[in-house]
Structure 1
Amino acid sequence: MSTWQLQEAKSRFSEVVKLALSEGPQGITVRGEDVAVLVSRAEYTRLTHPKPGFVGFMRGSPWVGLELDTERQTSLTREMVL
């Protein structure tokens, strides 16, 4: 992420916006402290778009409707190959 001093970012605002579109987020500092980040609209939408919960994620799975064998063995021991 490139970093810009506020005064320089103000005077070269068009360039900072174009860099945010092409190269990603652009940091802005005031007196050496990071105070802001300029991101493209697409990046902002990606970051703020609500993600589906677990149930929504599972419902959107390509394996919806697939029958799984969920039967468990009830014996106390099982054979293992070592």
Structure 2
Amino acid sequence: MNSDEEKMGSMKSAVDMEIVGDNMSDIAEFTIEKYEYRIDSTLSPEVREKAVSTIEEALWKNIEELNLLRKQYLAGLFNLADKTLSEIVE
């Protein structure tokens, strides 16, 4: 691990994963309730459980992709800072 990666690793994330997890559950539940309202019917407990699980899984995958993009963005910031410093001191 180089020093830039160490710095990026020590930078605080603006995302609290516990809150995100709670929000994922809320989003899944809301989506299901909205669907049930639209169809004027209630899903069985088994279908509801599977739906919650599958929705949360899809949302977490999206969050993981976002975290990867964040790391790439931070790496770009460090590269830009290095380049800018080099232009000043050279």
If the TM-score is normalised by the length of the shorter chain, which range does it land in? under 0.3
Give the structure-1-normalised TM-score: 0.25
Larger Rg: 1
More strand by share: 1
Give the structure-2-normalised TM-score: 0.24
More helix by share: 2
